[in-house]
Amino acid sequence: MYREEPYTGKELPYKSLCLTYDDGPGKDTYEIARFLFDENIQATFFVVGKYAIENEETLEKVARLGHIIGNHTYEHPDMPYYLSRNGDIQNQVLRTDALIKKYNKKNTIYFRSPYGKWSKEVANNLNLNLLTNIDHVGPINWDIAGIDCFYWKKDVSIEKTAEKYLNDIEEKGRGIVVMHDEIADMNFLQPKNKTLELTRQIIPKLKAKGYKFVRLDEIQSIKEDAAKKLTVTLKTTFGKYLCIAGDSTIKVEQKNSNLNREFYIEDMLTGCFALSGADGRFLSIGAGEGNVVKLNAKQVTSTEKFDLVPLRSNKFLLRADNGHFLQIQKESGILTATAAYMRGGEIFTILPIGLKEREKFSLKEEIKSLQRQLLYVKSKVKERISR
């Protein structure tokens, strides 16, 4: 989940540093990662999707060395401004997620916003989308600023740039350091990038001064938030909620019901998700003709995994392992995996606890939605006539 206030390294012990690199991967990314590995330092590389897609082999090598691969958006936009101009910031995150998730075995995606620019509105927008929210922690800011790319632009020497970093670190005494293994938005400047040599210069000097290096996921507040499971509710088309009944079946909430309607959702990193209750049991598809969904599995196997098919505004269809979509039986209100076709599946609004559902859409969005529905109806009518 995203915070309104960015994470920093202010809570780190004195003379503790966390190294991060932005804008890559680039031509020197692996060499930087290898040097740090040899120095027994694990850094976080916040990658830009448009570069990651061209350098997946580099990312794989960096990840093998134990470094963290973080999300720095796909095209490196100014997020608050981009959102204000109706830019799709969720897409910026998701496109890069698709490239880096396989390198994050612990599921967590650490996010840093380009230029460190952030706002409450950006946090709310990303939190409202289940797919950009679940297992995401951010934004990760810094304490020692990344002046390297600006110094390369001014043709400042490596020695003076190293001196600036060392002075800033000594002044702060601790924190998250940011450097740039590549330079986004200024392609003309990329050949001037000397951050590899900068890294080779400052690390021995910092060690000589008694500084220790920690991983990003060792910073306590970040570690604690990464460990939290995302709690959600599942609301039906008619405004009722899925609840856990006494016999472990899942059914829609009745009036004045006290049934538990909170679920934990977990990304299984295989394109599938699992849902569990507070007692740790998972939703599972029962055998037999009924294919009733129950909260009775102690571990996740194939029958506990669901495909989340996104529509819009946190609305999803859920497809079970048997190939059928989840639907609610009209008479009993019980959830089953029996809809053979997408059009028979229930559309759920899956919303993190504590967040309000987006209720209003622009007139333009509503018109487009109506047009799509009318075109579908028209195609079905033509299909019947042709028969």
Residues 239 and 214 in one domain: no
At residue 359, the pLDDT reads: 52
Q: What is the pLDDT of residue 380?
A: 41
Domain-embedded: residue 365: no
Strands (E), the chain: 2-7, 16-24, 44-47, 68-71, 109-110, 136-140, 175-180, 212-213, 230-235, 242-244, 250-252, 263-267, 273-276, 282-285, 293-297, 307-310, 315-319, 325-328, 335-339, 348-352
Same domain, 150 and 48: yes
> Looking at the structure, do residues 177 and 282 belong to the same domain, yes or no?
no
Q: Is there a domain that residue 245 lies in?
A: yes
Which residues are paired to 159 by β-bridges? none
Q: Which domain holds residue 305?
A: 230-352
With tokens 């037999």, the residue in question is: 288
Contact predicate 177/206, CB 8 Å: no
pLDDT-based confidence at residue 255 (cuts at 50, 70, 90)? low
Q: Share the mean pLDDT of the chain.
A: 90
User: Is 382 within the bounds of a domain?
Assistant: no
Percent of the chain with pLDDT over 70: 90
Region 187-201: what's the mean pLDDT?
94
pLDDT tens across 97-156, in order? 999 999 987 789 999 999 999 999 999 999 989 999 999 999 999 999 999 999 999 999
pLDDT of residue 2: 96
Q: Kindly report the CATH number assigned to the domain that includes residue 327.
A: 2.80.10.50
pTM for this structure?
0.88
Q: How confident is the model at residue 312 (pLDDT cuts 50, 70, 90)?
A: confident
Q: What share of the chain has pLDDT > 90, as a percent?
A: 76
Domain boundary among 226, 255, 290: 226
Contact 276, 234 (CB under 8 A): no
Residue 58: inside a domain: yes
Count of domains observed in the chain? 2
Using the predicted structure, report yes or no on whether residue 256 has a pLDDT greater than 60.
no
Q: What share of the chain is helix, strand, coil (3-state, %, to 5)?
A: 35, 25, 40
Exposed / middle / buried, residue 354 (Cβ in 10 Å: 0-12, 13-18, 19+): exposed
Q: Which of 172, 200, 226 is the last residue of a domain?
A: 226
> CA 80, CA 137: separation in Å to the nearest integer?
18
Q: What is the predicted pLDDT for the residue at 376?
A: 41
- Average pLDDT for 264-282: 90
Contact present, 9 and 20 (Cβ < 8 Å): no
Which of 226, 248, 279 is the last residue before a domain boundary?
A: 226
Among 197, 164, 165, 195, smallest CA distance to 180 is for 195
- CA separation (Å) from 297 to 107, 185, 283, 304, 354? 21, 49, 7, 8, 27
The answer to whether residue 366 is domain-embedded is: no
The pLDDT tens digits for 325-382 are 999 999 899 999 999 999 999 999 998 887 766 555 556 555 655 554 455 444 445 5
CA distance linking residue 244 with residue 230, whole number of Å: 17
Terminal Cα distance for the chain, rounded:
51
Classify residue 370: in a domain, yes or no: no
**Average of per-residue pLDDT across 42-60:** 97
Structure tokens at 348: 């759920």
> What DSSP character marks residue 327?
E
CATH number, domain with residue 189: 3.20.20.370
pLDDT digits (tens, 9 = 90+) for 154-191: 999 999 999 999 999 999 999 999 999 999 988 888 99
- Asked if residue 178 and residue 32 are part of one domain, the reply reads yes
Tell me if 287 is assigned to some domain.
Answer: yes
Q: At what angle do helices 195-208 and 29-38 cross, to 10 degrees?
A: 20
β strands within 249-379, DSSP E: 250-252, 263-267, 273-276, 282-285, 293-297, 307-310, 315-319, 325-328, 335-339, 348-352
Tokens of 288: 């037999």
- Rounded to 10 degrees, the C-alpha dihedral 292/298/301/306 comes to 50
The answer to whether position 81 is within a domain reads yes
Q: What is the pLDDT of residues 218-233, one digit of tens each?
A: 999 999 999 998 999 9
Asked whether residue 60 carries a pLDDT value surpassing 50, the answer given is yes
Q: Are residues 234 and 216 in the same domain?
A: no
352-356: long-range contacts, CB 8 A cutoff, minimum separation 24: 352/1, 352/127, 352/130, 352/133, 352/230, 352/231, 352/232, 353/231, 353/232, 353/233, 353/262, 355/124, 355/127, 355/128
pLDDT, mean of residues 263-274: 88
Q: In this predicted structure, what is the pLDDT of residue 377?
A: 47
Asked if 293 and 272 sit in the same domain, the reply is yes
153 and 123 both lie in a single domain = yes
Task: Name the DSSP class of 228.
Answer: P
Task: Place 246 in a pLDDT band, splitting at 50, 70 and 90.
Answer: confident
